[in-house]
Chains A and B, each alone.
Chain A
Amino acid sequence: MTIIDWALANYNELFVSGAIILVSIVIAKIASVIIRRRMYGSYSNHIAKLTGRFAYYVIVIVGLLLAIGNMGISLSSIIVAGGLAGIVLGLAAQSSVSNLIAGILLIGDKPFKSGDFITYGDLTVGIIEVGLLSTQAATWEGVRVRIPNNQLFNSNVMNYTRSVARLVRTQITLFYEEDFDRIAKAISDAFAKQWYVLVEPAPQVFAVQFTNTGVVLEVRVWTAGTTWGNLYFEMPKMITDTLKGLGVKFAYQKQIYVDVEHTGPETSAKRK
C-alpha cells in the first residue's frame, strides 16, 4: 500500500488530525499572548517572552501527540524511536544543551539583565538580550556580539550597572610649590555642585605619593550606579577647568640639557 492509498483509506482521521494540529497552534498562540500580557509589569519582559514561548511549544506538542494518537499510530513506538533519536541528537548537541542549561540558570540567577554593562574576559559590553542559548550584546563601538551562555556562566562577570553606587577616582600630579588645601577644596566643591555626585560619601582629594615631578593627589568621587558614565566622562574636564580657574598647572617632568664646551687640556696633536 502506497502512502496515497493509505491517505485515501484514512482521509477522515487525517482531516481530524490536521484540524487538531491547527486548533492547537491557534490555542498555543492565544495562550502565549495572554501569558505574556499577564506577566508584563510583574516580571521582566524577557521572562514573560520566554514563558509565553514555552507555553506555545508545550501546547503544540500536546496537539501533535493527540493528532498522532487519532491516526491510530502507537505512541510507545514513537517514544522508542524518539529515545534513540534523542541519544544521537544528545551526543551531537552537547554544547547546545550546556548552553541551554546555562541560559536557564542565567535567567534564573540574574547576574545581569538587558541594559546592564558587563565585563566578560577582555570584553566590555552592554547586554541587549539574554537568550536561551546565547546572549546578545554590543560593544562600546556598537558592534553586536553573540556570547554562548555556557561561556558567560563559567566566567567571572563584572556588572557595572548593578551596584547602587560607584566610586570614580583619578590621580593628578602638581608641583610642590602649590597650596594643596586650596586646590583640594576647590576640586571637592566643583564636584559637589554636580547633581550626579553623591552628597555622602562626599568627594575627597588627598595626597598619595611624592615623586620627583611633584605631589600625586587622588580625587575620589561617588555617584549612583546609573550615572557612572556622567561622572567618568566629565571628571578630567572638571579637574582641568578647576585648576585653570585657580591658575594652577599640572606638574610635568623637566629635563635640562646643558651644552658644555670642552675646556680640558689641549690634545698632544694640537700642541705640536
Chain B
Amino acid sequence: MDTGIFVLSEKKYKQIDTVENWPKKFSLYGSASDGMVYRYFKTGYFHGLPKPEANKISTKVGMINRHGKWFVITKFIFSYPSFNIFSHKGRNFGEAVEIDINNEDLALVSLKNKPSFAGAKPMSHIKQGYSNTIEMRYGT
C-alpha cells in the first residue's frame, strides 16, 4: 500500500502526491506490442486473517473453478487504480477479488466492489472506483 498525500479543502480531499512504501517493480502480461505492463507485487498467501503489518493490506481472493480440473495459479492481475481500500477498527482491507476459472483457457479476474472483511467501511477520502473484468489466458 502506498501513502497518498492529500490536501483538505472545503471537506474535499485532493491527492497531490504519493509516497511509495514498496520498491516499484513492473512486469509484462501478454505480448510486447499489445500486452500490458502492470505493477508487480509478490505476496504470501494465508488461509485465515494474517497479522497486520505496516503499509500492508489484506485482500480476500475467491476462486471459482468451473472447469473441474486442478490448476496452479502463479499470478493474477487486477485493475489497481480502481482497487478500493476499506477500514475496520484501524485496520485496512482491500477490495474482494474473484478469480473465475471459466474453462481450461480462460480465467476472469474481477473486483467485487465490496470489502474483503465484512463490516469494513470504505475510506471516505478515496474515490470509489469500478473496474472492468480482466481476462487471463492459460499459461500466461
Residues of A within 8 A of B (CB): 163-167, 195-196, 198-201, 222, 224-225
Contacts and interface: CB of A to CB of B under 8 A. Distances in A.
A164 B24 contact: no
B9 interface: no
Contacts of B25: 195, 199
Nearest to B35: A164
Given A198-B37, A199-B40, A224-B37, A165 B24 contact: no
Interface in B45-71: none
Interface in B1-36: 23-28, 30-36
15 contacts: A163-B33, A164-B28, A164-B30, A164-B35, A165-B35, A165-B37, A166-B32, A195-B23, A195-B25, A195-B26, A196-B26, A198-B37, A199-B40, A200-B27, A224-B37
Contacts of A196: 26
Interface residues of B, number: 15
A200 B31 CA distance: 11
Interface of B: 23-28, 30-37, 40
Given A165-B35, A195-B24, A195-B25, 7 more contacts: A163-B32, A164-B30, A164-B31, A164-B33, A164-B36, A198-B37, A224-B28
Given A199-B25, A200-B27, A200-B28, A164 B40 contact: no
Contacts of B28: 164-165, 198, 200-201, 222, 224
A164 B26 contact: no
Nearest to B42: A199
Contacts of B36: 164
Q: Identify whether the interface residues of B are mostly helix, strand, loop, or mixed.
A: loop
Nearest to B33: A163
B19 to A, nearest CB: 15
A224 B26 contact: yes
- 3 closest Cβ pairs, A-B complex: A199-B27, A165-B32, A224-B37
Contacts of B31: 164
Contacts of A201: 28
A225 B28 CA distance: 11
Nearest to A196: B26
Nearest to A225: B37
Contacts of A222: 28, 32
